């Protein structure tokens, strides 16, 4: 039987200048007033962290219990419901992770019944013995996320205008594209507005805006003609599936995408042909923590009560940086005002 966990809740997650030790524990600040790394099996719970930017990641150090600059020593990066590790295609560090998938098979009813309290015992039971082989830990990589063009939070989804993609088109050319607006009639998607920049030689053209009306069936889109087309072989690059709020890629003609970087952004990017790879789906960067709400191993599930909100799954992830291994959960998404993009973290060092 595991011993009772230590707790260290944060008073203020954005500055993290002070903390209180609960359950009668003494302060964990050092003599200089600086925060010290968590003790073995000490449970740290943050207040909601402001990761609400649509285009800018914030960087968190598990050792220092704080947000740090990108150039600092960070373990995970956060943006809305995304969690990335400092390694692979995301960062220059050697941080890796592993998903325990402890609630992957949970039903919607079970997920809705989870609370911070009734999941604590299971979280605390994950200790050193549950750490898998080193070879199973992975860094960040590209995965499909067909609804990555959406912002999903409280209320009706909106266009994720900060997200854009370098596209290898179905005819072998290159372009940039992003979704700038979406419209709904009730819960039905009725239109998707795009901007695209077509590359000629080494030069990207000016943005072209166009809107694709949607109905009940998939609609094929050509970036070269900036409009909807009747699908025929390689005359289309993207396909909108309105019923699923998804965008797909013409993989049969070797079209592919690579997510653009927040800096320099859609307007200032100089080339669409310089991506390290183009994958046959609408891609996002991910790692041991899935960033798609369609993945049952992700931190959240969406719309379980037909309320267009995210519900925490209390899935547990192991984060490794050197000799230290942490277990991590994201146990909330909404800030004190109810706004989305303010994740609450619960974590503990187990090695």
Total Cβ atoms within 10 A of residue 63 = 17
pLDDT score of 344: 97
pLDDT score of 27: 29
Predicted TM-score (pTM) of this structure = 0.67
Q: Would you state the structure tokens that stand for residue 229, as one six-digit string?
A: 């087309």
Rounded to whole angstroms, the Cα distance separating 291 from 82 reads 5
Mean pLDDT over the full length of the chain: 88
Section 66-92 average pLDDT: 91
Instruction: Pick 33 or 90 by higher pLDDT.
Output: 90
pLDDT at residue 21 greater than cutoff 70: no
Confidence of residue 18 (pLDDT cuts 50, 70, 90): very low
Rounded to whole angstroms, the Cα distance separating 144 from 284 reads 6
Give per-residue pLDDT as tens, 258-269: 999 877 889 999
Section 72-95 average pLDDT: 91
- State which of 23-37, 56-70, 165-179 shows the largest mean pLDDT: 165-179
pLDDT at residue 71 greater than cutoff 70: yes
Section 12-23 average pLDDT: 34
Confidence of residue 22 (pLDDT cuts 50, 70, 90): very low
Q: Would you state the structure tokens that stand for residue 270, as one six-digit string?
A: 């100089």
Cβ–Cβ under 8 Å, residues 17 and 29? no
According to DSSP, the residues that pair with 221 across neighbouring strands are 228, 238
Rounded to whole angstroms, the Cα distance separating 319 from 75 reads 8
Q: Would you state the structure tokens that stand for residue 46, as one six-digit string?
A: 């943050």
- What percent of the chain is predicted at pLDDT more than 90? 74
Cα 99 to Cα 139, 156, 170, 315, 316, distances in angstroms: 12, 30, 35, 8, 6
pLDDT score of 154: 64
Query: Of the given ranges (2-6, 12-16, 24-28, 181-185), which has the lowest mean pLDDT?
Result: 24-28
| DSSP string computed for 216-229 | SS-EEEETTTTEEE
Cβ–Cβ under 8 Å, residues 7 and 23? yes
Work out whether the CA dihedral 332, 337, 340, 345 comes out positive or negative: negative
- What percent of the chain is predicted at pLDDT more than 70? 89
pLDDT at residue 8 greater than cutoff 60: no
Rounded to whole angstroms, the Cα distance separating 275 from 267 reads 16
Confidence of residue 9 (pLDDT cuts 50, 70, 90): low
Please report how many Cα atoms fall inside a 13 Å half-sphere around the Cα of residue 45, on the Cβ side: 14
Determine the Cα angle at 299 with ends 346 and 122, to 5°: 50
Q: What is the dihedral of CA 336, 338, 340, 346, to 10 degrees?
A: 40
pLDDT at residue 157 greater than cutoff 70: yes
Instruction: Report the side by side order of strands in the sheet with 66-68.
Output: 66-68, 58-61, 76-79, 82-85
Q: What is the dihedral of CA 133, 136, 138, 144, to 10 degrees?
A: -160
Rounded to whole angstroms, the Cα distance separating 22 from 7 reads 6
pLDDT at residue 291 greater than cutoff 90: no
pLDDT score of 34: 55
pLDDT at residue 150 greater than cutoff 50: yes
CA-based nearest residue to 262, from 279, 243, 285? 285
């Amino acid at each position: 039987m595991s011993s009772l966990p230590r707790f260290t809740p944060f008073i203020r997650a954005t500055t993290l200048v002070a903390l209180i030790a609960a359950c009668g524990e003494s302060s964990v600040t050092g003599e200089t007033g600086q925060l010290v790394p968590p003790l073995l099996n000490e449970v740290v719970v943050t207040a909601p962290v402001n990761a609400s930017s649509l285009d800018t990641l914030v960087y968190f150090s598990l050792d220092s219990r704080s947000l740090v600059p990108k150039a600092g020593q960070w373990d995970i990066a956060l943006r809305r419901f995304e969690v990335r590790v400092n390694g692979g295609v995301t960062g220059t560090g050697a941080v890796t992770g592993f998903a325990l998938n402890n609630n992957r098979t949970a039903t919607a009813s079970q997920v809705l019944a989870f609370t911070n309290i009734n999941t604590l015992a299971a979280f605390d039971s994950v200790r050193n013995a549950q750490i898998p082989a080193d070879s199973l830990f992975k860094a960040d990589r590209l995965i499909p996320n067909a609804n990555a063009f959406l912002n999903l939070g409280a209320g009706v989804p909106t266009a994720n205008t900060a997200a854009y993609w370098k596209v290898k088109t179905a005819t072998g050319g290159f372009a940039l594209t992003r979704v700038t607006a979406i419209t709904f009639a009730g819960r039905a998607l009725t239109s998707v507005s795009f901007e695209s920049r077509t590359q000629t030689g080494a030069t990207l053209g000016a943005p072209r805006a166009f809107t694709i009306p949607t109905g009940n069936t998939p609609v094929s889109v050509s970036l070269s003609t900036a409009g909807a087309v009747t699908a025929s072989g390689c005359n289309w690059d993207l396909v909108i599936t309105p019923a699923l709020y998804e965008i797909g890629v013409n993989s049969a003609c070797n079209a592919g995408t690579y997510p653009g970087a927040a800096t320099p952004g859609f307007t200032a990017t100089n080339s669409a042909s310089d991506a390290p790879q183009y994958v046959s789906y609408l891609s996002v960067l991910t790692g041991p923590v899935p960033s798609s709400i369609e993945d049952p191993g992700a931190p959240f599930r969406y719309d379980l009560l037909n309320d267009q909100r995210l519900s925490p799954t209390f899935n547990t992830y192991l984060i490794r940086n050197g000799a230290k291994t942490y277990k991590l959960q994201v146990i909330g998404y909404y800030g004190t005002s109810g706004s989305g993009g303010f994740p609450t973290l619960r974590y503990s060092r187990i090695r």
